[in-house]
Amino acid sequence: MDLNIFIDGDQGTTGLDLQNRLRGGEFRIRTLPTGMRKDAAARRAALNACDIAILCLPDAAARDAVAMIDNPAVRVIDASSAHRTSPGWVYGLPELDARQSERIASAARVTNPGCYPTAAVALLRPLTDAGLLPADYPLVIHAVSGYSGQGRVGAEAHEAGAEAAAHSLKVYGLALEHKHVAELEAYAGLSQRPIFLPAYGSYRQGIVLTIGLHARLLPPDVSGMRIHECLAERYRDAAHVRVLPMSPATPMTELDPQVHNGSNDMSLAVACNERTGQIVLSAVLDNLGKGAAGAAVQNLRLMASASRSTS
Give CA separation, 244 vs 18, 204, 210, 264, in Å: 28, 24, 14, 16
Nearest alpha carbon to residue 144 among 206, 91, 218 = 206
> Checking DSSP bridges between strand 195-201 and strand 169-171, what pairing results, if any?
antiparallel
- The catalytic residue among 50, 56, 115, 230 is 115
Nearest alpha carbon to residue 196 among 208, 179, 219, 217 = 179
Nearest alpha carbon to residue 183 among 81, 54, 297, 58 = 81
**Inter-helix orientation angle 13-21/294-309, to 10°:** 50
Q: How many other β-carbons are positioned within 10 Å of the β-carbon of residue 165?
A: 10
d(CA 289, CA 114): 11
Q: Is 115 marked active-site?
A: yes
Which residues are annotated as catalytic?
115
